[in-house]
Amino acid sequence: MKVIVTKNYDELSKVAANEMANIIRNNPKAILGLATGGSPVGMYKELIKMNQLGEIDFSKVTTVNLDEYVGLSGDHPQSYRYFMNNTLFNHINIDKNNTYVPNGLAENIEEECKNYDAKIAELGGTDVQLLGIGNNGHIAFNEPDTSLVSGTHLTGLTDDTIKANARFFDTIDEVPKTALTMGLGGIMKSKKIIVIASGESKAEAVKGMVSGKISTNMPASMLQMHRDVVVIVDEDAAKLL
Ligand code: F6R
pLDDT number for residue 42 = 98
pLDDT number for residue 147 = 87
**Boundaries of every domain in the chain:** 2-227
CATH of domain 2-227: 3.40.50.1360
The structure's pTM equals 0.97
The CA-to-CA distance between both ends of the chain, in Å, stands at 13
pLDDT number for residue 183 = 97
Query: Tens-of-pLDDT digits for all 241 residues of the chain?
Result: 999 999 999 999 999 999 999 999 999 999 999 999 999 999 999 999 999 999 999 999 999 999 999 999 999 999 999 999 999 999 999 999 999 999 999 999 999 999 999 999 999 999 999 999 999 999 999 999 988 889 999 999 999 999 999 999 999 999 999 999 999 999 999 999 999 999 999 999 999 999 999 999 999 999 999 999 999 999 999 999 9
Residue 98 annotated to the active site: no
What are the distances in angstroms from CA 69 to CA 31, 36, 38, 95, 109?
A: 22, 11, 16, 23, 12
Q: Separation of 109 CA from ligand 1 center, angstroms?
A: 22
Residue 143 annotated to the active site: yes
Walk across the sheet containing 99-100 and list its strands.
Answer: 2-6, 229-234, 193-197, 128-131, 31-34, 62-65, 99-100
- Please state whether beta strands 62-65 and 31-34 pair in parallel, antiparallel, or not at all (unpaired): parallel
Ligand 1 pocket test, candidate residues 12, 32, 34, 39, most atoms within 8 A of CB: 39
Residue 67 annotated to the active site: yes
